[in-house]
């Protein structure tokens, strides 16, 4: 039986404002509990919310980033429910009239092709506080620092057809909000999290299957695993003659499974109604134009430009534009070194990214500055060192052992380009290995690599590879 997976995501992006959406309290992460909650966040009687203008600007920015309609007028609504970390008894959100309407984003899939994912809407809302269950010995603590932190909820159409597509879309939005500098994208701290709605249907069906919603997943890997688990579960339920009931499920990363949290019947009726404390939100054309003026080059545009300007493949360009800082690092090195963009890209995505990952550092924290990497690439291109030796130099640079030229000098890594010296080494290797020479001459071409290896070993990898190849070919020809 041929099954099709259908996925729609609801992403919560915490907006990077200094103060909260309806109060002047600070939003900084990690403060002592309850030190960043003011009377409004604590819902004292008689307090009134005042909308933070920056939040509106950020939502418009996102809307423009996904080519969406920006609503001239949107409405804040109360979503009513009781929860200990929601002292008002309702969350202020947008329901019928969100600030951002229909939009879309192009997402690159694994095979390099692009797929358009449609965005239904994006609306503004406030976050709730946090209930803390650890360290309280059978009691719960409430931290209201997060209460009133601005969120943008981005709802997609059910356009994704696999867990991998869902992750690709999530990554595209993650990259976009960071480019726009409206969200720090920190998934561990919960600044960027998503609910995945998953259903399956037989390929011949035109109607969508019943969906389950997987709540609050905060890593790309978990999103992929949670969806894959859920798809298998739904298929086996249906194949065994059962039906899927609409419910909210939780993903448990330790057990790699999803479990029922609440069924649709138990779902809250939130009794949404327009918040009488807040006026409708009016966005004027001049506000939109002002934000437009402030838009950076977006990942998609940058990727296109990198492919034409630097002749990079879609794959390379896509990796380089994942963050604005990485793209900037690349362009700075290319400019400073005048090295081949492809060589530059390889070094940044290979050795540098590898070392950064291992040390758990971001590109902005790289111990190797752009000027240093540029110098290293120049030394490869002017044949002072081979690409292989450059790796040794890079390691020394990473460990702060000094400037590129200093390292090359101190460690005696300069490439041997003196053909006399190479010739005598080649002659010695030919003399020392008569059997291999005979085999090679009788047609075992593969042995060529053996001679290259011997020569490189004897020279500590310092021979110019082109020169060595040419001389070896000549001398081995007999």
Residue numbers of the site for ligand ADP (CB under 6 A)? 6-10, 155-158, 197-199, 208-209, 211
Provide the minimum distance between the beta carbon of 301 and ligand ADP in the complex, in angstroms, as a whole number: 26
* Calpha distance 353→344 (Å, rounded): 12
Cα distances (Å, whole numbers) of residue 428 to 57, 334, 433, 434, 452:
72, 41, 9, 11, 13
- Is beta strand 150-156 parallel, antiparallel or unpaired with respect to 141-143? unpaired
Which alpha helices (H) appear in 264-360, and where do they start and end? 285-293, 299-309, 314-320, 324-337, 341-347, 353-358
Provide the minimum distance between the beta carbon of 259 and ligand ADP in the complex, in angstroms, as a whole number: 19
Provide the minimum distance between the beta carbon of 176 and ligand ADP in the complex, in angstroms, as a whole number: 17
Provide the minimum distance between the beta carbon of 141 and ligand ADP in the complex, in angstroms, as a whole number: 29
Instruction: Quickly tell me which residue has 């006399």 as its tokens.
Output: 420
State which residue, 5 or 23, has the beta carbon closest to ligand ADP: 5
Q: What is the DSSP string of 281-301?
A: EE--HHHHHHHHHTPPPPHHH
Provide the minimum distance between the beta carbon of 163 and ligand ADP in the complex, in angstroms, as a whole number: 12
Provide the minimum distance between the beta carbon of 302 and ligand ADP in the complex, in angstroms, as a whole number: 27
Burial class (CB in 10 A: 0-12, 13-18, 19+), 258: buried
Provide the minimum distance between the beta carbon of 193 and ligand ADP in the complex, in angstroms, as a whole number: 14
Provide the minimum distance between the beta carbon of 249 and ligand ADP in the complex, in angstroms, as a whole number: 13
State which residue, 29 or 272, has the beta carbon closest to ligand ADP: 272
Provide the minimum distance between the beta carbon of 328 and ligand ADP in the complex, in angstroms, as a whole number: 33
State which residue, 172 or 348, has the beta carbon closest to ligand ADP: 172
| Nearest position to ligand ADP, beta carbon | 8
Provide the minimum distance between the beta carbon of 220 and ligand ADP in the complex, in angstroms, as a whole number: 18
* Calpha distance 37→45 (Å, rounded): 15
* Calpha distance 87→81 (Å, rounded): 10
Provide the minimum distance between the beta carbon of 135 and ligand ADP in the complex, in angstroms, as a whole number: 33
Neighbours of 438 (CB within 10 A): 11
Quote the longest CA-to-CA distance of the chain.
98
Nearest to 5 by CA among 196, 163, 224: 163
State which residue, 169 or 222, has the beta carbon closest to ligand ADP: 169
Give the rounded distance of the alpha carbon of 16 from its chain centre: 17
State which residue, 216 or 466, has the beta carbon closest to ligand ADP: 216
Neighbours of 434 (CB within 10 A): 9
For the chain, what is the radius of gyration of the CA atoms? 29
Neighbours of 113 (CB within 10 A): 9
- Spatial contact of 382 and 354, defined as CB atoms under 8 Å apart: no
State which residue, 199 or 386, has the beta carbon closest to ligand ADP: 199
State which residue, 267 or 279, has the beta carbon closest to ligand ADP: 267
State which residue, 8 or 150, has the beta carbon closest to ligand ADP: 8
3 state SS of 195 = strand
* Calpha distance 141→125 (Å, rounded): 24
State which residue, 6 or 128, has the beta carbon closest to ligand ADP: 6
State which residue, 197 or 366, has the beta carbon closest to ligand ADP: 197
Instruction: Quickly tell me which residue has 């000098």 as its tokens.
Output: 409
Provide the minimum distance between the beta carbon of 196 and ligand ADP in the complex, in angstroms, as a whole number: 8
State which residue, 191 or 199, has the beta carbon closest to ligand ADP: 199
State which residue, 197 or 384, has the beta carbon closest to ligand ADP: 197
Q: What is the DSSP string of 407-465?
A: HHHHTT---B--HHHHHHHHHHHHHH-HHHHHHHHTT-GGGHHHHHHHHHHHHTT-B-H
For residue 366, give the DSSP letter: -
């Amino acid at each position: 039986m041929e099954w099709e997976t259908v996925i729609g995501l609801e992403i919560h992006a915490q907006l990077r404002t200094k103060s909260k959406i309806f109060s002047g309290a600070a939003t900084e992460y990690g403060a002592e509990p309850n030190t960043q909650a003011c009377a409004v966040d604590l819902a004292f009687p008689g307090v009134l919310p005042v909308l933070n203008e920056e939040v509106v600007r950020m939502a418009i920015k996102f809307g423009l980033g996904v080519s969406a309609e920006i609503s001239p007028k949107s409405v804040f609504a109360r979503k009513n429910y009781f929860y200990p970390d929601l002292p008002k008894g309702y969350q202020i959100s947008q329901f019928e009239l969100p600030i951002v309407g229909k939009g879309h984003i192009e997402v690159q899939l694994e095979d390099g092709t692009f797929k358009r994912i449609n965005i239904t809407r994006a609306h503004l809302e406030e976050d709730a506080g946090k209930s803390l269950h650890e360290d309280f010995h059978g009691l719960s603590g409430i931290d209201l620092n997060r209460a009133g932190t601005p969120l943008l909820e981005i709802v997609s159409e059910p356009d994704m057809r696999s867990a991998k597509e869902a992750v690709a879309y999530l990554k595209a939005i993650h990259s976009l909000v960071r480019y726009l500098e409206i969200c720090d994208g920190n998934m561990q701290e919960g600044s960027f999290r998503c609910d995945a709605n998953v259903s399956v249907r037989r390929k011949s069906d035109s109607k969508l299957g019943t969906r389950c919603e997987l709540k609050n997943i905060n890593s790309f890997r978990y999103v992929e695993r949670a969806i894959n688990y859920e798809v298998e579960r739904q298929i086996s339920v249906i194949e065994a003659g059962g039906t899927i009931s609409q419910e909210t499920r939780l993903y448990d990363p330790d057990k790699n499974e999803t479990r029922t949290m609440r069924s649709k019947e138990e779902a809250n009726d939130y009794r949404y109604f327009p918040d009488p404390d807040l006026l409708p939100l009016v966005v004027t054309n001049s506000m939109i134009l002002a934000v437009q003026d402030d838009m950076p080059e977006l990942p998609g545009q940058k990727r296109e430009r990198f492919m034409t300007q630097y002749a990079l493949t879609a794959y390379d360009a896509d990796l380089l534009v994942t963050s604005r800082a990485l793209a900037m690092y690349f362009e700075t090195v290319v400019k400073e070194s005048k090295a081949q963009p492809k060589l530059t890209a390889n070094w940044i995505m290979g050795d540098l990214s590898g070392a950064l990952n291992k040390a758990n550092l971001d590109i902005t924290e790289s111990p190797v500055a752009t000027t240093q990497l540029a110098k290293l690439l120049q030394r490869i291109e002017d044949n002072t060192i081979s690409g292989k030796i450059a790796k040794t130099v890079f390691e020394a640079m990473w460990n702060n052992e000094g400037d590129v030229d200093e390292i090359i000098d101190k460690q005696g890594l300069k490439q041997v380009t003196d053909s006399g010296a190479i010739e005598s080494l080649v002659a010695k290797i030919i003399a020392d290995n008569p059997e291999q020479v005979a085999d090679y001459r009788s047609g075992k071409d593969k042995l060529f690599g053996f001679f290259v290896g011997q020569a490189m070993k004897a020279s500590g990898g310092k021979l110019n590879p082109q020169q060595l190849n040419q001389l070896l070919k000549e001398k081995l020809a007999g």
